[in-house]
Amino acid sequence: MRPALHIPGHFGEWLQGRLGAEGPVVLVTLPAPLLGLDLRYRPGPGLSLRGAGLTPARARRFLALLGLSLRGRIVLCPAVAPGLGTGVSTASLVALARLAGWDGAPGLLARACVAAEGASDPLMFAAPERMLWASRQGRALAALQALPRYEILGGFQGAPARTEAADSAFPEVGDLVARWQRAQGLAEFAAIATESAARCSALRGPAGEVAPQLAADLGALGWLRAHTGAARGLIFAPGQVPAGAEAVLRAAGWRGLVRIRGGGR
């Protein structure tokens, strides 16, 4: 069975929450090209599908929304387990659509993902971090500026927690969105991400979040998290991750350590 394609994932969010007390759940994602999902495919009769918790019946229903169908044997291979905050669920649907020949507008694909699951990450877009994304609506509410260059040292702490479409118990972040739209240096963006993460942990848990202390101990500009899931990351300027930082995170119980570099303007 040969690899057919790779769909990049994300690593939590720079910020996420309600846009006003009664507003939609919005987010700014953190792209993680090396995470996400690989799809392996072999032609054949019928549809055989395994991996990422996606069943053939769900796959057929999703593809039908796009006027597509698939036959053959498909194995979905996530870089990390589903529910950790890396977009496995959305990536699996995007992979199926592209394997089936989808070449339409990414917005239409996003809305099909929402129709199938109730929520979607913006993984079908070329620059997903450049939009304020309404995840339960499958659409961008605003275009955002490019981030300065950054380096994230992250890992996973705690159990998986899958996104529930009906879950809107997130803190308000309208003020953080306004700050994000006018922020300048990386330190400002990191401070906003830190505040969003702290609000989420205060409202949703877990108790005893260790990321703030790790950020202080290692001289990070701030920290971020998967607002649903186990991903946690420390934010650094490029090349400023101190020697031995990985050992400190492992000692604190973080697993599956990753480095993510991005931004640039």
pLDDT (tens digit per residue) in 137-159: 999 999 999 999 999 999 999 88
Is the Cα torsion angle 51, 52, 53, 55 positive or negative in sign?
negative
Indicate the length of the chain as a whole number: 265
- One domain for residues 156 and 130: no
Percentage of the chain modeled with pLDDT above 90: 89
- One domain for residues 124 and 190: no
Looking at residue 207, its pLDDT comes to: 85
- pLDDT tens-digit series, residues 160-203: 888 887 788 899 999 999 999 999 999 999 999 999 999 999 99
- One domain for residues 72 and 89: yes
- One domain for residues 96 and 170: no
Residue 103: pLDDT above 80? yes
Single residue among 142, 161, 192 that ends a domain in this structure: 142
Element (H, E) at 108: helix 106-117
Number of domains in the chain: 2
- One domain for residues 88 and 217: no
How many Å is the maximal CA-CA distance in the chain?
Answer: 56
Tell me the residue range of the domain where 239 lies: 145-262
Measured at the CA of 139, the angle between CA 134 and CA 140, to 5 degrees, comes to: 80
- How does the average pLDDT of the chain come out, rounded? 94
Is 246:219 a contact under the CB 8 Å cutoff?
A: no
Is 253:261 a contact under the CB 8 Å cutoff?
A: no
- One domain for residues 15 and 105: yes
- One domain for residues 115 and 170: no
Residue 2: pLDDT above 60? no
State mean pLDDT over 235-262: 98
Residue 1: pLDDT above 60? no
- One domain for residues 171 and 111: no
Q: What pTM, to 2 d.p., does this model score?
A: 0.95
CATH number of the domain to which 229 belongs: 3.30.70.890
